[in-house]
Structure 1
Amino acid sequence: MQTNATYTSFVAVGDSFTEGMSDGLPDGSYRGWADLLAARLAERAPGFRYANLAVRGKLIGQIVDEQAASAAAMGADLVTLVGGLNDVLRPSCDVDLVCARLEEAAARLAPSCRQLVLMRSPGRQGPVMERFRPRMEQLFDFVDGLAERHGALVVDLFGAEVLGDPRLWAEDRLHLNAEGHRRVAEAVWQALGHAPAFDWREPLPSAARAGWAARRASDARFAREHLLPWIGRRLSGRSSGDGRPPKRPELLPYV
């Protein structure tokens, strides 16, 4: 990695995390860490180009089959690859197979760019993360080795305590909110060797815990609006990304 390097193009590959859910904009679309990072990189490089091939709900096999070849063909300076978490959060998952497909993606992308960036994805504190923590740690240990083999950079978001704070997550408890995405963009920015704008690991101020009634009401709303629809999609074999095109499918000047 070149410290403080100037990148003239950036392609982001992945799922909802990279698409930008749930950093919502007034028009109903999503921004997210990749868009925020692209905006900052564009300030340093006139004519900077950006593509975001991410689609919500995609499993690692779909990311490899539907995004990796296209991203590699673009020949961007900088490529980010984040995937596999949708797989390991499912009730049944072959983590070794997930790792093998991730290796396939990295092997295709690393030779095509000047810098490949991988991530240890963040996890929201709570019973869901604890249930799946062994799988997540297995995946992220593999990511570390993958980076060594392919000369990639790893941004450790999983190890940042602040990104587990529920206040940085949306109501669906699966996606970061605007402040969470802002911190991820800063984490990648600093990992690329640029001067810090702020301490993205800084804990949030202490806050009084919500009362029992408020917590139960929040749990009920979460179950009704997010958990039950998610279960319904799993049972029917559908995905939130079915039929949805990539967020930004062509490597075009950033505006």
Structure 2
Amino acid sequence: MFQTLISAPALRKLLASGASVAVFDCRHDLMDVQLGRRQYAEGHIPGAQFAHLDDDLSAPKTGANGRHPLPVREKFAQWLGSRGVHNGMQVVVYDASGGMFAARLWWMCRWLGLEAVAVLDGGWPQWLAAGGESTTVVPSPAAGQVQPAAALVEAVDVAAVEANLLEPRFTLLDARAPERFRGEVEPIDPVAGHIPGSRNRFFKDNLEADGRFKPADQLRRELQAVLGDTPANQWVMSCGSGSTACHNVLAMELAGLGTPPMYAGSWSEWVADRTRPVAKG
């Protein structure tokens, strides 16, 4: 069972063995939201199905719930089942961005209580580098069924974050790029800055130059330099819209530092209400 990462050679071996595996292609671009679909159509891992961040992994936007609000758990379970997933089945997710988007689906599967779910380390580029095949054939899996179980991860809502400003119980760790966190630039959301009291850990700092995750001991040292001795449950991961925050959750697990909660709405939900405070610098 793979629960965090799986290497490209290990995935090739697993698929060749005939094991029951559900593979999802999560390639995406926040500035060109159809890029992932085009890339999938041009070539993907044999048997992989496409999972679109906006259409498949998010609930409808209301203007107040951020760019990628979490769907209802039961509806997401139905979507997974319609893609042939069963409880206990190995799920593998990948993208071409170092896990930036695949980590969201990894987190959401764990949110349903699924244990056997892993991110392909290094994603599509590493798959090709390892000699993995590419196909344009779109699979048609038989229907599956996913029954939500006790969540293996925790989601924090905006009310909890608002309450935390008045009576601090946790610290937010923002996964966005440092210049976005500081409020110097904001290419996506209407307001620049960060939630007051937040700290910053750019999700790309979890990765080697080739897009694979750093070794666990290195992640542990780097994360502890930010977290200190504060336990994981006193931190809440956030980002722009609830995707790269999941990357930091995964990095924490890989480092053996526990599984922190995640603020799914993140910055895009926070600034939807212009009366909420904003910090810069």
Specify if TM > 0.5: no
* Alignment TM-score, normalising by the size of structure 1: 0.32
Q: Which has the higher helix share?
A: 1
Tell me: higher relative CO, structure 1 or 2? Use CA pairs within 8 A at least 6 residues apart: 1
